[in-house]
Amino acid sequence: MPLAASCAELAGQGVAQDGAQTLHLDHDSTVPYLAYCASMATTPETYLELVNTSLDTDHLAAFNFGRIATGGNYNFANDEVTRYQRVRFDPATLQIDVTDSTFSVTSGQALPIPYVDYGFAGACGGPNGTFNIDLRGLPFKVDLTATTWTANQSSGPGVSSNPYGDSVAPSSDDQVVNGTGNGGCGAWSPLGYAITLNYLCPSGQSFCGGACIPTASDPANCGGCGIACSDTQLCSGSACVAAPASCVDVASSGTATDGDYTLYVSQKRAKPYTAYCANMATTPATYLDLVNTSLDTNQPALYNFGSFATAEFTRYQRVRFDPATLTIDTTDNAFSVTNGQQFPAGPYMYFAFAGACGGPDGTFDIDLRGMPFAVDTTATTWTANQADGPDVSSGPYDDSTTPSSNNQVVTGTANGGCGGWAPEGYVVTLTYVCPGGAGQCGP
């Protein structure tokens, strides 16, 4: 059952009893709030339960009230004060309806209306009328950009430009707002009789589009709501920066430590991958960390190796990668182990290489599972050292390659000819495999 954002939605799910309920803005589990659901059996309404209240009319109102002051032309016996326990809330607009007094108590002389609106201050030539909004203990604060107060007899809603000296004073976090109405025989009240709220997100996050967003690192809201980075930029420290495509890019940013880093194909933010950056203090080189390996030379080679028959095996932990061409340099053995007979041609077997000379088959394995890459079997072909051409199926030695259905695994066999079965040009070309499925990562 989906998370309810309002009491009306909760009633639609079968809840018919009035009471406190945990709701979630925009049905998002990361933005919960405690509400009081009223009239659930008839017309469900959502109220915010105020933590700090002054409901005892024998004491001065300190929290969450509206006041019309006596004195001057308002010659009442006492101030009229309405103290609120709960305020009506619209989860869709994040607005408080200041005219709803369902959960309030009023004391003092009544004007033609029997209560004072929430966030309302009034007076007429005497002492100031005042109000208090106190949302402490709730995950909300007043949105002072969307909410302004206006004097009933003033020409505009500007807080500081009305002729009566009326004012509002927010706390540093905007959870508390105090207001003063100095007269004009009118009222100092929220424009439209609504107070707009913002969700109070954890430290380092802002409420953007119905969710708490870390604006220091979110590329769609970088440094503030709605500030978007381009598709080749990341958000770092609240600023848009170029996404690194290679270990050279990482080093140019001042990082000189070898290790794993997140890089991006063609700098596209939607195409991340993990690479191992080596030689960062001198000549940075990019390597792909292979997930499936067979580095234990006491065990059979199963994943990511090249071999010459059953005599020599080189097992790879990482392979050298060129991010600009998406190719593996199969001759780089910096992160490999070799066991068996060493041939005069070199002390190791290339990655994706199989060789033999009249005896048992040589084999190789490429296994890119667990990585966002697959072998581009159109751009990559294998050739026999003594064959006339790169055609996989027509070499005179029955050498062959066998890809998996998604091309993330390719195995090869060399039947002899006293040579090797190796990728043309000694490179294996890859394609990016979008984690979200084809078309989800853009061009």
Positive or negative, the CA dihedral 342, 345, 348, 351 is: negative
How do residues 204-233 score in pLDDT, each as one tens digit? 888 888 888 999 999 999 999 999 999 999
CA angle 320, 321, 327 (to 5 degrees): 120
pLDDT band at 421 (very low <50, low <70, confident <90, very high): confident
Domain coordinates in residue numbering, the chain: 7-49, 65-199, 212-241, 247-288, 291-432
- 120, 187 contact by CB (below 8 A): yes
**Better pLDDT: 60 or 85:** 85
Residue 420 has pLDDT above 90, yes or no: no
What is the pLDDT at residue 152?
Answer: 65
What pTM does this model have?
Answer: 0.73
Confidence of residue 394 (pLDDT cuts 50, 70, 90): very low
Separation between Cα atoms, residue 243 and residue 383, nearest integer Å:
37
Instruction: Please report the pLDDT score of residue 389 as a whole number.
Output: 33
Per-residue pLDDT averaged across 133-152, rounded? Answer: 92
Helices (H), 323-439: none
pLDDT for 143 equals 94
Q: What is the C-alpha separation between 418 and 387, in angstroms, rounded?
A: 11
Determine whether 162 is exposed, middle or buried from the number of CB atoms within 10 Å of its CB (0-12, 13-18, 19+): buried
Residue 181 CB contacts under 8 Å (≥ 6 apart), including other chains:
69, 120, 121, 122, 123, 128, 129, 130, 131, 151, 164, 166, 187, 188
Least confident of 42-56, 118-132, 219-233: 118-132
Give 93-112 pLDDT, tens digit per residue.
Answer: 999 999 999 999 999 866 67
- pLDDT greater than 70 at residue 285: yes
